[in-house]
Structure 1
Amino acid sequence: MSTAALPARRPLDGFATILMIVLCAIWGFQQVAIKSTNVVLPPLFQAGLRSAIATLLVCGWARTRGTPLFRDDGTLGAGLLAGVLFAAEFICIFVGLSLTSASRMAVFLYTAPCFTALGLHWFVRGEKMWRTQWTGIGVAFAGMALAFADGFAHHAPGGTADSTHSMLAGVAGDALGVLAGIAWAATTVVVRATKLAHTSASKTLFYQLAVSAVVLLALAVGLGQARFEAIVSITPLTLASLAYQAVIVAFVSYLLWFWLLTRYMASRLSVFSFLTPLFGVTFGVLLLGESFSSRFLAAAAMVLAGIALVNAPARRRAS
């Protein structure tokens, strides 16, 4: 991947920090919305509908702003790759949420910043990590490891075949959360390390949503999840959840995210998103009645300490 002539990104300021906190809250609630809707709409079908609706919204937004989406600017290959990775991320999230809790999915998914920082360090000029930032990555990763241990404790078998099956399903769901995080990180690296870094946020998002809509809906049809009875049985709550996912998350929040990526250092933004698991667990406990432990509080404290270190100003060496 080419790393030449990328525009300089600046460290986070107060505006970017506040906006990232809002985005993290939006993304944290997403896991609750998906899990509550999985019981009505099959996972892949739900994910495909979400991407399809958001694709139409992005097309409308781009048209009103005069942003060309179909002009040949050399981004097609990278855009298709980003779209496939985006689809893989949400396959893992939506299927994983049928196996594990929203709280645990939020925690495991947000291993992404660790993988993102590593990928950007190697592939994108200007995204090198200083010693303090690497220390922050280590502290935050240790916090995630503690959160993993807490999550696996919830899947401990009770000695019966049913409990063992439940444990294996839960572990599979947790693993899908980690795979989703890796796919998200890979998408971010592709966006920053290719010609997508020079295109508009609308076009970058269009690639991901359009490709994922095709992939997810095709898989839903192939696996028999695109059922007519699922559509006619949609409740007002399910419709509200789908609207939240498509409009607020996939359209508004992602446009803001890609806008931030064009102006601020992606490694700092990604690591800051460790806040999302905290929101995810909180929403899971309050709205879905999921379990909460003191071990997670310790993990959360480590994660927050890591965020603070990663976003600390780097000290220049004396010349």
Structure 2
Amino acid sequence: MPASHLCLAVLVAAVWGLNFTVIEVGLDHFPPLLFTALRFLAAALPAVFLVGRPKVAWRWIVAVGLVLGVAKFGLVFLGMDAGMPAGLTSLVLQVQAVFTAVFAAAVLRERPTLVQAAGMVVALAGIGVAAADEGTSGPLGGFALVVAAAAAWGVSNVLTRKASPPDALNFMVWVSVVPVLPLLALSLLTEGASRDLAALRGLDWEGAGSVLFVAWVATVFGFGAWGRLLSRHPASTVAPFSLLVPVFGVSSAALLLGEPVTPLRWCAAALLVSGVALTTLRRRPGGPPRTTGGGGNAPPAEHPGRPGERGGVTPTRSGAG
């Protein structure tokens, strides 16, 4: 990979990690479900008029849109609004790799190797350590919501695998259309019209900037750049950079929000990142293991690599968070 592409991969990971800090800022201005709806509305418009027609069946766009947009991101924003720290959220979400492997085994009959199974155990141990750390410093309800979001992400990953979109950006933009109305309806029902209107009337540059960052920078730029890298390099070369997302997520939250990073959280980070790295190893028939994907701010999708190489499961979204 040339130096320019290497820098681009690191930049995307940094953007997706920083995205969790920006979400924290946005939650100071909007109710969580309204903020999630605005995020997808801004990601869809005007991009939906520029990317062309959908390149996969509508059933996959609707299914991924509901599971990823409404369930996964709705739960993430609710969890963070309930007190889950931004840095810890970026870390805990990486357990989606374990859920993805479990669901893929059940639905796609992709049996995990012994190395992958060991990685799942290590990653789950990291979740246990993170839960113990959060139990001493914050509400476990938000933690549980983020773990549920990771499970929803795992479901959306399997759905995306089934859809096999040939164009990650086109797919993500059309997926972004689906959650807007359901999230707005849920916001009106649970957060109330008066609270939503008050947030919109009080919109300032900081609130608008947070929406535009999570929509245009983390989603449109992030996925466009990631898809560009995947079109030029094997997925096994690109995907490991997604493991940098929680590194940037934890560090940016500590630097910009003053979130403490306890020894238990460092331990949880080491276990989770190591476990996810092992979980995303797949073995070619007759060949050595290879890395095929990880966390990040996005649902994995299969992408072609170089001629003659088959891409693996790689992240195509984080805004993440």
Identify the TM-score tier after normalising by the shorter chain.
0.7 to 0.9
Q: Cα offset for 1:173?
A: 0.8
Of residues 108-117 and 241-250 in structure 1, the stretch that sits farther from structure 2 once superposed is 108-117
In structure 2, relative to structure 1, the CA distance for the partners of 1:289 and 1:187 (3 Å cut) is same
Alignment check: 8 A CA contact 2:97 2:279 kept: no
1:81 matches 2:63: yes
- What residue in structure 1 maps to residue 53 of structure 2? 68
Alignment check: 8 A CA contact 1:51 1:246 kept: yes
- 2: distance between equivalents of 1:178 and 1:285? 21
- 1: distance between equivalents of 2:121 and 2:4? 26
Alignment check: 8 A CA contact 2:165 2:171 kept: no
- What residue in structure 2 maps to residue 245 of structure 1? 214
Q: Cα offset for 1:180?
A: 0.9
- What residue in structure 2 maps to residue 201 of structure 1? 168
- What residue in structure 2 maps to residue 212 of structure 1? 179
SS at match of 2:271: helix
CA RMSD of aligned residues (A): 3.3
The structure with the largest alpha-carbon Rg is 1
SS at match of 1:154: coil
SS at match of 2:30: coil
1:228 matches 2:213: no
In structure 2, relative to structure 1, the CA distance for the partners of 1:236 and 1:198 (3 Å cut) is closer
Aligned counterpart in structure 1 of residue 41 of structure 2, from 30, 48, 52: 52
Alignment check: 8 A CA contact 2:243 2:277 kept: no
Question: Aligned AA for 1:102?
Answer: A
Percent identity between matched residues is: 26
- What residue in structure 2 maps to residue 178 of structure 1? 147
* More contact order relative to length (CA 8 Å, sep ≥ 6): 1
SS at match of 2:214: helix
- 2: distance between equivalents of 1:52 and 1:114? 30
- 2: distance between equivalents of 1:13 and 1:123? 37
Q: Cα offset for 1:52?
A: 0.6
- What residue in structure 2 maps to residue 140 of structure 1? 123
- What residue in structure 1 maps to residue 259 of structure 2? 290
In structure 2, relative to structure 1, the CA distance for the partners of 1:136 and 1:152 (3 Å cut) is same
SS at match of 1:111: helix
In structure 2, relative to structure 1, the CA distance for the partners of 1:285 and 1:199 (3 Å cut) is same
SS at match of 2:50: helix
- What residue in structure 2 maps to residue 32 of structure 1? 21
Q: Cα offset for 1:186?
A: 0.9
- 2: distance between equivalents of 1:13 and 1:315? 25
Any idea what the Cα deviations from partners look like across 1:36-74, whole Å, max 9, x if unmatched? Answer: 121212211111111011111431431xxxx323x8x6x
Q: How many positions carry a matched residue from both structures? A: 281
- What residue in structure 2 maps to residue 8 of structure 1? none
- 1: distance between equivalents of 2:255 and 2:34? 27
- 2: distance between equivalents of 1:88 and 1:279? 24
- 1: distance between equivalents of 2:166 and 2:286? 34
* Structural mapping, 1:306-317, within 5 Å: 306-310=275-279, 314=283, 317=286
Any idea what the Cα deviations from partners look like across 1:66-111, whole Å, max 9, x if unmatched? Answer: x323x8x6x1222211111021111111111111221232233222
SS at match of 1:149: helix
In structure 2, relative to structure 1, the CA distance for the partners of 1:76 and 1:311 (3 Å cut) is closer
- What residue in structure 2 maps to residue 165 of structure 1? none
Alignment check: 8 A CA contact 1:108 1:177 kept: yes
In structure 2, relative to structure 1, the CA distance for the partners of 1:113 and 1:273 (3 Å cut) is farther
SS at match of 1:115: helix
- 1: distance between equivalents of 2:208 and 2:175? 23
SS at match of 2:260: coil
- 2: distance between equivalents of 1:175 and 1:16? 36
- 1: distance between equivalents of 2:94 and 2:181? 25
* Structural mapping, 1:101-116, within 5 Å: 101-116=85-100
Alignment check: 8 A CA contact 2:43 2:215 kept: yes
Question: Aligned AA for 1:98?
Answer: D
- 2: distance between equivalents of 1:275 and 1:82? 25
- What residue in structure 1 maps to residue 300 of structure 2? none
Please, which runs of 5 or more residues in structure 1 have no aligned partner?
1-11, 156-169
- 2: distance between equivalents of 1:50 and 1:255? 17
Question: Aligned AA for 1:82?
Answer: V
- What residue in structure 2 maps to residue 189 of structure 1? 158
